[in-house]
Amino acid sequence: MRSFLAAVLITTIVVLSGNAFALCVDNEYANLRNGPGTTFAKTWEVYKYMPFAEVEKKGDWYKVKDVDGDTHWIFGKLITTKYKCAVVKNEKANVRTGPGTNFKETDFSPVLRYYSFKVEKIEGDWVKVVDQDGDGGWIYKPLLWIP
């Protein structure tokens, strides 16, 4: 019984810690829609590195959940699972030159809600990020949504 519970626990940890259901926009921008096809109304236009949680797949389209818990559809060729992404979930977030409040803010800090990044590294409560223009820094993890 112990080995069975250990196997279940390990499987749960692997599933929860992996990014098998995390998707990132891998295009300059992407249109989100309210159904799986270009004939459906556009619900939101997002930019590179916007993260989503996969809900379901229908053909070449993915139903995804965003930082606010809303669902949309996105064409599969516009997304990837090759890296992790993050989006600012608060009104704004300071971007710092290192992992801590004792580091200076970068020139483009602060960034506003819905600003998306590629995740380069996570150190404790700090996330090293880079945006689509190549600007980067560190953001306090609780200010980000990383599915």
pLDDT attached to residue 70: 97
Percent of the chain with pLDDT over 70: 86
Over the stretch 93-107, which tens digit does the pLDDT of each residue have?
A: 999 999 999 999 999
Q: What is the pLDDT of residue 21?
A: 73
Q: What is the pLDDT of residue 46?
A: 97
Domain boundaries, the chain: 20-80, 85-145
The CATH-assigned architecture of domain 20-80 is Roll (2.30)
Second CATH level (architecture) for the domain 85-145: Roll (2.30)
Question: With 0-12 CB in 10 A as exposed, 13-18 as middle and 19+ as buried, what is 7?
Answer: exposed
State the number of CA atoms in the 13 A half-sphere of 5 facing the CB. Answer: 2
- The radius of gyration of the chain from alpha carbons, rounded to an integer in Å, stands at 17
Let me know the angle formed at the C-alpha of 39 by 78 and 83, rounded to the nearest 5 degrees. 15
pLDDT in tens, 19-55: 447 999 999 999 999 999 999 999 999 999 999 999 9
Mean pLDDT across 117-137: 97
pLDDT reading at 7 higher than 70: no
DSSP-based three-state secondary structure for 135 = coil
Same fold, 20-80 and 85-145: yes
Please state, in angstroms and rounded to a whole number, the distance separating the CA atoms of residues 61 and 68.
20
Q: Using the 8-state DSSP alphabet, how is residue 18 labeled?
A: S
